[in-house]
Amino acid sequence: MTDRRVVLVTGSTDGIGRATARALAAGGMKVILHGRTKPKVDAALAALSAELPGAELEGVSFDLGSQAGVRRGAEQILARVPALHVLVNNAGIFADERVVTDDGVELTFAVNHIGPFLLTELLAPRLEESATTAPSRVINVASIAHTRGRIHIDDLTLANGWTGYAAYAMSKLANVMHALTLAERHAPEKLVTYSLHPGVIGTKLLRQGFGPVAGAAAEVGARTSVRL
């Protein structure tokens, strides 16, 4: 059994998530990498293991856009690690078309909020149990786009007036609200929660959502999550 603190970073096969995982592993934490597909997770594990000999790394693959997939992923994590100290809800998408999942949820909202929300609920008991010497943490990687978001409570699938930005901004506002709600529901000596804007970072998501916009390196975007 590892004596290292254990962190799960969702969406850590590339971009900010991978930079976050690398920095945390280099700092001595055991890191569980997550991605939607096993080949991507395996490739990220191999690359980081080569970069960081001696790092303690594991991988898990599941689709945050599927509630059944999230439940299976949480079961795998709980079965494999007896302690979990940090959950970084980093994974996110910026869709270029409106898609409704099999669960009846608009895809951006499913991947960016509903999936992370469900994952957090399923892992929260383990996080609290692991807070023996310091509070465990949930870190939601949100975006300054939350300031332009609106929760369309009567039209969460955005059947009327969907745009990629509207869907993204709504999901990021939900990330911030989720962190606030977690802080209200959990004792601070057991679980503390944060939401953050990582900056304008030159990731695949930025290019897909905003075109050829200049952005900072992924390592810059990871700094706040790593510090928290």
Q: 56-96, pLDDT tens digit by residue?
A: 999 999 999 999 999 999 999 999 999 999 999 999 999 98
Pick left, alpha or beta for residue 92 (phi over 0 → left; psi -120 to 50 → alpha; otherwise beta).
beta
* Host H or E run for residue 60: strand 57-61
- Please compute the mean of the pLDDT values over residues 111-136 and round it to a whole number: 98
Buried b (16+ CB within 10 A) or exposed e, 148-185: ebeebeeebbbeeebebebbbbbbbbbbbbbbeebeee
Looking at 3.40.50.720, 3.40.605.10, 2.60.120.200, 1.10.3720.10, the CATH number of the domain 6-227 comes to 3.40.50.720
Domain ranges across the chain? 6-227
Kind of pairing between the strands at 191-196 and 57-61: unpaired
Question: From CA 171, how far away is CA 120, in angstroms rounded?
Answer: 16
> Which pLDDT score, from 0 to 100, does residue 91 have?
95
* Host H or E run for residue 119: helix 115-129
Cα-Cα end-to-end distance for the chain:
25
Q: Output the CA torsion 68→70→74→77 (10° steps).
A: 120
Q: 7-18, pLDDT tens digit by residue?
A: 999 999 989 999
**214: pLDDT confidence band, cut at 50, 70 and 90?**
very low
Q: Is pLDDT at 206 greater than 50 in this prediction? A: no
The per-residue pLDDT of the chain, averaged, comes to 90
Catalytic residue annotation: 168
Q: 104-120, pLDDT tens digit by residue?
A: 999 999 999 999 999 99
% residues pLDDT > 70 (the chain): 87
* Host H or E run for residue 72: helix 67-80
- Residue 118 to residues 48, 68, 153, Cα–Cα distance (Å): 28, 10, 18
Question: Which residues, at least 6 apart from 211, have a Cβ–Cβ distance to it below 8 Å?
Answer: none
Decide if 115 contacts 71 (C-beta within 8 A). no
